[in-house]
Structure 1
């Protein structure tokens, strides 16, 4: 693809996409969202990194660029979660750029003029130069095109600006690669570590075990005390460090789904629409004006419509009328205008002319006719495309590949599918004037031209007003201390959203939660949010039930969360006592099993590196105890994840001595290197003060 084509189509997304290389390189964790809460910061500051402010005016365009990438990738449809992801991508790139920039300066990492020249036009071009100036088939860079474009900067200010952006990004990527190489070269594996890893993956253990599952003790028979909670909390305190401030919410949804009355009214509307549709003199215009879903008025192939329609409509002859039929929450009305057999796909090549560059459409059409004539007389499409085309396909002989219906703009598609192999046509489209050559038509299938109307079953204004009135009445009556009780008294279901982070774009049961989350972070624990929030299919009233600060959470903050684990810990004490009694006087595992009414279960050929007991689960403590035990000796009771165990090792099988220590080291270094990049970046974050105020703006 030439740089001009690149600049038109992709430069809008370039900066965020380029900086995002940092993310892939350093495996950014959610730690990037950490920082102090949102209070006391300037109204224009989205956040800061070590005192370096991130201004909204500079940050928001990068969010918009990231969002544009999502829209391009998903066909223009983005939901609240995707919007939050776009914002996170921009934030992570911004934080990464600041932290890594400081590291580059500290380490004295730079890109010299000689290195930059090599990256732009030398023997080792940047991946970005390869991407935008490389032949798609061979990967070879068109250096002449690079030089021509570089020289054109002096005459084209816009091109110079675009090259400045591209060059800056190339330098950033090169610095990132230097830093990554520096980290990779700093890690090593010793011979002892290599041998240990080899043993852990190849030494085999045979053993028997007896286990008493936690489920064998009924919850109702367990009494959990405050001391039990405190004991578990203190033993696992590090697990309760909150990387970022979170909120917990209760909410009630008031449905705005269509009622029976709405269904009757919509059906009557659709029946009248069907009568008018049957008699209208302009099918395509009537469909376009009345359909909630726009289907192009062109030939379409099977598989493009909703399954209920797609399975029958291609059997209807021209002039037929289908519907109204209700499926997938909407009514369908269809007129079959025409049908025929058409190729499944077409392979084509073209030359694209830009009328604005050759004196207008009349000149473009005149040139197109001349080029068509040359091609019909045996001229080379590849040569002419290289000379005249403004499309990126000029570097591949004008080849646009093989495509099915729906892949190209209608004018281009119709010309390609309605012609015959070998035809050369001049076609006008929104992109300019095409000289199209049909290289090959593949397959044959029935296609139909349809005038298509789809009317969704939506709630009426009356239904929405009634739901909003209920929600408002509940909001006016509810207090922070009676939220659940009042909801229960009115027959409403209370939803829960736990550990909601400031920037997340989703919450259980809430399809558009950002406004609600934003307000929750301006509220305190116990507050009822003062707004009725509008979701896609409901109005919502919410209540903040918890505020979990960044850092070490207190026992009360996690008490509900750890209740199942504390329950198992208390059961473990009960089951340990039972197994200790069984061990008393027992000389082998079979005797222990008999005393507790179980059978000793054998395990063969277990390795330390894969601590899964067949038929049970992963039990790290148990498998660790196996490889630390003496053969034939009964263990003490071991508290596992699923129950309490007693084990007895039958024997070990040691592997042959390691044959190639160097190869083992290389394998391990690869894994260590990959982890080290993320670990290095995590260390940079932990040493930095990152303030994240995005919830005030998004």
Structure 2
């Protein structure tokens, strides 16, 4: 029904569109397809006249999301993919203009030069050398028989091509970014020249803000004069009232009683895991031993006073009501010192690329080394150095030093803490086979295994309905139009929170977190300033109200006031201060301004700081170009207005050669590839229409 309603609302618009299309068809039938299949409709953007189609963008987005495995949000993925496509097309465009292309041979040579390709036994001949034909055959086989693996290799090869294009361009540009010996000498002299100076400083704060008036027209004039600094994207301002859905005291009491009613059955249950599952516990069974220090300290004493089979609770812990059943009680150290020899194998976690042994071979080797160590325990350290895949501990004869119960992988941990000093055995873990020797144990104490049933403390359905009703009543009161959103909120004692400057591709709303639906609604073509809507969010209801909308272009005075006003205020304060900073004697100027003459020694351009004032690059820069002992009056700085004279200029000792300085300058320039790209990007013609895909329409 909602869709039909929209169609009815826009029926005249649709009639006009269809009429224009049919009229074009009468004139030229081929234009009908062009009309509905216009490339603009299917474009996400454009770079230097080259379009980025929706299909291209969608394909790259899907690849990226598969690569990161859902670890980023949709809008984060969109931004990364957009940036990657821009970079690729901008570099390609630059190379084409320079008449340079990256050939298939260049990409292939880059791939077969990679160490992981060269060192893979699968692509080597009988002599253990890389065989290019074997590698080609491998690629041909997976292209035919393993589409997923071929897709991964194709992506990798495309990435190599993109990297080659980027590196080729950067190398060509940086090849011309050298430096001369004269630049090296100038750099050395400027950065090592030291000045002593005297100055009178009158801070802007010495003039009361009330003495300075800033007009809106002045702010507007400043914005126009510095228009490049005040370009704004489409943005929306909203205000919202949040109605949190929180469990009431009566909700908590009901949950607590429900949990308490399970104690009797829990105590006699023989399968604790099954009991938790059948009774819908909100946490699963923890089969690890638990130290008293790791438990909720309000109930830790009571639990540790219990015996096997006792059920303690209900108690409140980290947003849950819980009951805990003691299933095992033993004595265990709180820390262990052990050594190990790790025999890794293909398929193990964090296995090094050079490990080629199978799991079966790893087990045989571990058992063989274990037999040697049983006969001669003194061989442990030497064998660790020779065979262990854990190179960090191998250098220390396999010693892992002290570790606590939580640190190691479960199989390793269980053996180390349940055994006794001097025990040695082979233990399998996800990392391979370990030959473990327990060297020391300390602080033996009582530990327990607990089966804990948990119920999350959440609001009841009745409470959710009450919160929904409050939000709905607030929205209804606004819709009647008798009072404004802010007036009604104030009347009902609701807190309104602003979210200013939301961009069309944002997903985060300050104060609410990731709420893309609210941003999309605010930018919907049907949403205007003054509109409102209620949203059902996780754990709350929100009534949002659009308070402002700014279109792409020059920032409005109201938006820019926060940035511009302090600049203009200081300008006007400087004008008032300057009149009092005239004279040919610093002492008289200081006296006239009820201050004193200050001194600052060993001033350098590298660190443009004045004693008692702070960082003042404009003033220090002026001092470096000043004549000795000449008074310079009314110079504007960051913090105030200055009069100064330079009393001493100490130049550094000349060097016999400035090649080291020249090289440093050249190297620093060549490292600025990111800034180079940003400059090219700034000069490119880029049209970003992702808002059409993601924004409301």
Any idea what SS the aligned residue of 1:423 has? Answer: strand
**Contact 2:236 2:546 (C-alpha < 8 Å) held by counterparts:** yes
CA distance in 2, matches of 1:176, 1:380: 55
**Contact 2:65 2:77 (C-alpha < 8 Å) held by counterparts:** yes
> Are the structure 2 counterparts of residues 500 and 369 from structure 1 closer, same or farther at C-alpha, using a change threshold of 3 Å?
closer
Partner of 1:49: 47
In structure 2, which of residues 593, 598, 601 is the aligned counterpart of residue 601 of structure 1?
598
The TM-score, its normalising length taken from structure 2, stands at 0.73
Query: 1:569 Cα deviation (Å)?
Result: 3.3
Partner of 2:254: 265
Partner of 1:672: 669
In structure 2, which of residues 79, 83, 107 is the aligned counterpart of residue 88 of structure 1?
79
Partner of 1:376: 367
- Deviations along 1:517-562, whole A, 9 cap, x unmatched? 1222225895245532344443323333343444433435423543
Partner of 2:185: 195
Matched, 1:648 2:637: no
Any idea what SS the aligned residue of 1:498 has? Answer: strand
Query: 1:164 Cα deviation (Å)?
Result: 3.4
**Contact 1:348 1:416 (C-alpha < 8 Å) held by counterparts:** no
Query: 1:185 Cα deviation (Å)?
Result: 0.9
Partner of 1:494: 496
**Contact 2:239 2:546 (C-alpha < 8 Å) held by counterparts:** yes
Partner of 2:27: none
Partner of 1:692: 689
> Are the structure 2 counterparts of residues 541 and 635 from structure 1 closer, same or farther at C-alpha, using a change threshold of 3 Å?
farther
CA distance in 1, matches of 2:338, 2:320: 31
**Contact 2:507 2:516 (C-alpha < 8 Å) held by counterparts:** yes
Query: 1:220 Cα deviation (Å)?
Result: 3.8
> Are the structure 2 counterparts of residues 409 and 676 from structure 1 closer, same or farther at C-alpha, using a change threshold of 3 Å?
closer
In structure 2, which of residues 153, 156, 174 is the aligned counterpart of residue 163 of structure 1?
153
Matched, 1:104 2:104: no
Partner of 2:195: 205
Query: 1:438 Cα deviation (Å)?
Result: 2.7
CA distance in 1, matches of 2:135, 2:415: 34
- Deviations along 1:579-605, whole A, 9 cap, x unmatched? 34xx3xx44223222222222232221
In structure 2, which of residues 98, 114, 123 is the aligned counterpart of residue 126 of structure 1?
114
**Contact 2:343 2:362 (C-alpha < 8 Å) held by counterparts:** no
Any idea what SS the aligned residue of 2:529 has? Answer: coil
Matched, 1:179 2:169: yes
CA distance in 2, matches of 1:90, 1:493: 39
In structure 1, which of residues 279, 290, 297 is the aligned counterpart of residue 287 of structure 2?
297
**Contact 2:370 2:425 (C-alpha < 8 Å) held by counterparts:** no
Any idea what SS the aligned residue of 1:657 has? Answer: coil
Partner of 1:28: none
Unmatched tracts of structure 1, length 5 or more: 1-39, 136-141, 355-366, 382-395
Any idea what SS the aligned residue of 1:531 has? Answer: strand
CA distance in 2, matches of 1:529, 1:681: 39
> Are the structure 2 counterparts of residues 185 and 373 from structure 1 closer, same or farther at C-alpha, using a change threshold of 3 Å?
closer
Any idea what SS the aligned residue of 2:533 has? Answer: coil
Listed as ranges, the matches of 1:352-371 within 5 Å are none
Query: 1:662 Cα deviation (Å)?
Result: 1.7
> Are the structure 2 counterparts of residues 523 and 650 from structure 1 closer, same or farther at C-alpha, using a change threshold of 3 Å?
farther
> Are the structure 2 counterparts of residues 587 and 545 from structure 1 closer, same or farther at C-alpha, using a change threshold of 3 Å?
same
Listed as ranges, the matches of 1:269-418 within 5 Å are 269-273=258-262, 277-287=266-276, 290-294=280-284, 296-299=286-289, 319=308, 323-338=313-328, 339-341=330-332, 343=336, 347=340, 349=342, 372=363, 376-377=367-368
Listed as ranges, the matches of 1:418-457 within 5 Å are 422-424=424-426, 436-441=433-438, 444=441, 448-457=448-457
> Are the structure 2 counterparts of residues 253 and 553 from structure 1 closer, same or farther at C-alpha, using a change threshold of 3 Å?
same
Matched, 1:566 2:563: no
639-648 or 59-68: bigger deviation:
59-68
Q: CA RMSD in A?
A: 4.4
Partner of 1:363: none
Partner of 1:624: 621
CA distance in 2, matches of 1:399, 1:449: 31
**Contact 2:266 2:275 (C-alpha < 8 Å) held by counterparts:** yes
Matched, 1:239 2:229: yes
Any idea what SS the aligned residue of 2:451 has? Answer: strand
Query: 1:666 Cα deviation (Å)?
Result: 1.6
Partner of 1:543: 545
Matched, 1:475 2:471: no
407-416 or 261-270: bigger deviation:
407-416
- Deviations along 1:300-329, whole A, 9 cap, x unmatched? 6799x6775898799677636555443544
Q: Which has the higher Rg, Structure 1 or Structure 2?
A: 2
Query: 1:632 Cα deviation (Å)?
Result: 2.7
CA distance in 2, matches of 1:291, 1:69: 34
The TM-score, its normalising length taken from structure 1, stands at 0.72
